[in-house]
């Protein structure tokens, strides 16, 4: 479990961590990575969207990316 490993790094370091550590070094391993950095969601096999401590949506990126629950958090991250 990688507990919000991207929270204290800039965008470039975060991209390096996801690509080199999570996608390459840990390839084939089960990785739980709670984070608010949803820009990396397309790289996940499964996404779990939570609200107030409850699961409100889960599934692969392609199935949830247009859902109301996912769009709500993606708008918050964009600042829109």
pTM of the predicted structure, to 2 decimals: 0.73
Residue pair 13/37 in contact (Cβ under 8 Å)? The answer is no
Residue pair 31/22 in contact (Cβ under 8 Å)? The answer is yes
Say yes or no to pLDDT of 54 above 60. Answer: yes
Residue pair 61/41 in contact (Cβ under 8 Å)? The answer is yes
Whole-angstrom Cα distance, residue 10 to residue 2?
17
Say yes or no to pLDDT of 79 above 80. Answer: no
Confidence at residue 55, expressed as pLDDT on a 0 to 100 scale: 95
Whole-angstrom Cα distance, residue 67 to residue 72?
9
Q: In this predicted model, which residue has the larger pLDDT, 75 or 18?
A: 18
- Residue 59, CA atoms < 13 Å, CB-side half-sphere: 10
Say yes or no to pLDDT of 78 above 60. Answer: no
Q: Give the pLDDT band of residue 7 (cuts 50, 70, 90).
A: confident
């Amino acid at each position: 479990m990688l507990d919000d490993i991207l929270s204290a790094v800039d965008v470039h370091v975060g991209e390096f961590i996801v690509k080199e550590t999570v996608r390459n070094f840990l390839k084939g391993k089960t990785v739980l990575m709670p984070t608010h950095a949803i820009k990396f969601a397309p790289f996940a096999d499964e996404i779990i969207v939570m609200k107030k401590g409850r699961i409100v949506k889960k599934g692969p990126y392609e199935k949830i990316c247009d859902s109301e629950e996912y769009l709500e958090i993606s708008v918050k991250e964009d600042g829109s």
